[in-house]
Structures are given as C-alpha cells and as structure tokens.
C-alpha cells in the first residue's frame, strides 16, 4: 500500500516535469517518456485498489480468499502499458516519416537525469517489497519503474547526440515503445501463469521432496506437483505412491501427517492423492502399470 502511494506522488511530479520539457522542445520521445511515467501513477492506483481488495478475508463465495485481485491488478497494468506502447510507436513512426528534427536544451537534460535516478530508486524499493511479500502486482509495478528509468536513459543518450542525427528523437520513441511492449508481455505472462496454476519451481520441488523423505523413510515416489497460488495462501496438489498392502486407514494417516508437515514447514496447504506402488487396471484394452506398461490382447 505504501509503495503504491509513494509511486503515485513521485510519478505525477516527474511526469509533469517531463511533459513541460517535451512541450518546450517539441520532442515526442520526451512526451512519450512523460506518459510512460504518468502511466506508473495510473498503474499504482490499480495496485493500491488491488491490494485493498485482496486483503479481504475468505467468504462463502470466495473460499480461497481474494488474493488473486493482485493478479487482476497486474493485468490492468499490462493493458495500460500495451496501449501506451502502441501510441508511442505510432507517433514515432509518423515523426520519422516526416523527417522532423528536435532541438533539446539544458532543462531537458536535467529533468531526464533526475528521472533516471528517482525511477531506479522506486524500482529497487518495489522489488524489495515484492521479494518480502511475494506480491506479483508490486513486482509488476517495480518493472514499470525500471522500464521508465531505462527509457529515460535512452532519451538522455538521444539528447546528447541530437545535433548529429536528425532522426534520433523518432528512433528513441520507437525504442521506448518496444521496451514498454516487452514489459507488457512479461507482466501478462507471469500474471496469467499464476491465475491458471503453475508448476512449482525445481527448487521448491527439491526442498519438499527432501523434507518429506526425511519425514517418511520409504520412497513415496512424489510426482504430479502443482501449485495453486491464491497470494494470501498457496495450495499444493501432489501424488504419492505407497505400498499396496497398506490399509486405507494407514495410507490416510500417512497422507494427513505429510499435509500437516507441509503446512508447518512451508506454509502450503497440500492435497495428496495416494496410488499403490504396483497397480494395474484396464482401460480401452490397455493394461497400465506404473512399473511395466503394456498392451493387452483382445
């Protein structure tokens, strides 16, 4: 919440300065960079709203809580970025076709340098908060700050070489548009993966496997692990294989004990599906075994 409020205030100030500099110089790159910065304030507003909504407790209609509002907030941010990327790219191409040249001044240089420094500080702060809270919306906001800082670096480079190359402003505008488009793709990919359900990282799989093996001596043959990330909590589904001669009651006791262990150790709610180590069943004339699959005869 604090990260979002700080972002809104700082970005609004930076955007105003960049727009002023862009109007004075007639630079599309500076104005585009200003709108990129202003879009940070817009995305931060979405972020603050999403965090507020996600903090609501689970209810009858939403038994898994409201944590995924943060992913929805990230999707809104990505939409804003995508629209801005398209508009900047279109304006830059138009300027290039008209062979328009831009004259920069000292004010533009100062504003751009200040923007680079401030935006990178905001990005680092957002990444720090996201790492502590595992908040994808805050991480998305951090990348928005980072892309704005990088686009300002590109603008500064263009200002320094504007006298040598008439096309520098329009080319810079196109580069900024591509940078924003990439950030849009990255945010969409991560947010959609979390909403759809994701395969756990190999590090988490190895850690869970190691802990369960230390907890239960036999080889449980863990497989089919899937994480359902609801932000406020995570749920894991996993299959284990047990000795086929165990009673249902004993198998249930083992699965329940592992579920409690995972909740205490990893703060993950687990649902475990039990399979016998040796099993066979017929389906579509195929005899399936987890040791020796083979086709049956009619």
197 contacts: CB under 8 Å, gap ≥ 6: 226, 227, 228, 229
pLDDT in tens, 8-21: 788 788 888 888 88
* Extended strands (E) in the chain: 223-229, 234-242, 268-276, 280-283, 286-289, 294-295
**197-219: average pLDDT:** 73
Q: In the prediction, which pLDDT does 230 show?
A: 66
Token pair in block for residue 30? 């500076």
Classified as helix, coil or strand, 104 is coil
What is the pTM (predicted TM-score) of this model?
0.55
Q: In the prediction, which pLDDT does 283 show?
A: 42
Domains of the chain from N-terminus onward: 2-196 (1.20.1510.10), 202-295 (3.30.70.1350)
Q: d(Cα 198, Cα 203) in Å, to the nearest integer?
A: 14
Q: In the prediction, which pLDDT does 14 show?
A: 83
**R_g over Cα of the chain:** 26
pLDDT in tens, 222-261: 778 777 766 667 778 888 888 888 888 988 888 888 888 8
**79-86: average pLDDT:** 82
**97-113: average pLDDT:** 80
> Residue 153 pLDDT > 70, yes or no?
yes
223 contacts: CB under 8 Å, gap ≥ 6: 238, 239, 241
In this structure, are residues 88 and 173 in contact, taking their beta carbons and an 8 Å threshold?
A: yes
Q: In the prediction, which pLDDT does 235 show?
A: 79
How far from the centroid of its chain's Cα atoms is residue 144's Cα? 11
Torsion sign, CA atoms 44, 12, 103, 160: negative
Q: d(Cα 281, Cα 244) in Å, to the nearest integer?
A: 14
Q: In which band, very low, low, confident or very high, does the pLDDT at 34 lie, cut at 50, 70 and 90?
A: confident
């Amino acid at each position: 919440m604090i990260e979002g409020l700080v972002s809104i205030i700082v970005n609004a100030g930076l955007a105003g300065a960049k727009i002023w500099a862009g109007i004075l110089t007639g630079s599309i790159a500076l104005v585009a960079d200003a709108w990129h910065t202003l879009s940070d304030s817009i995305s931060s507003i979405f972020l603050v709203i999403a965090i507020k909504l996600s903090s609501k407790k689970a209810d009858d209609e939403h038994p898994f809580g409201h944590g995924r509002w943060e992913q929805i907030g990230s999707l809104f941010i990505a939409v804003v970025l995508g629209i801005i990327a398209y508009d900047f790219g279109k304006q830059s191409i138009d300027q290039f076709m008209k062979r328009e040249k831009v004259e920069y001044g000292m004010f533009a240089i100062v504003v751009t340098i200040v923007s680079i420094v401030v935006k990178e500080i905001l990005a680092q702060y957002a990444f720090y908060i996201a790492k502590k809270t595992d908040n994808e919306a805050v991480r998305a906001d951090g990348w928005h700050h980072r892309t704005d800082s990088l686009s300002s670096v590109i603008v500064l480079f263009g200002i320094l070489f504007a006298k040598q190359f008439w096309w520098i402003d329009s080319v810079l505008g196109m580069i900024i548009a591509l940078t924003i488009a990439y950030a849009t793709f990255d945010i969409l990919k991560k947010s959609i993966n979390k909403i759809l359900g994701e395969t756990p990282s190999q590090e988490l799989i190895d850690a869970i496997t190691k802990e369960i093996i230390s907890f239960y001596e036999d080889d449980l043959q863990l497989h089919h692990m899937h994480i359902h990330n609801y932000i406020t909590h995570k749920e894991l589904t996993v299959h284990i294989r047990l000795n086929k001669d165990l009673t249902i009651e004993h198998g249930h006791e083992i699965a329940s004990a592992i579920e409690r262990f995972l909740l205490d150790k990893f703060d993950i709610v687990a649902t475990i599906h039990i399979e016998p180590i040796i099993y066979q069943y017929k389906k579509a004339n195929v005899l399936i075994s987890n040791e020796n699959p083979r086709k049956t005869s009619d």
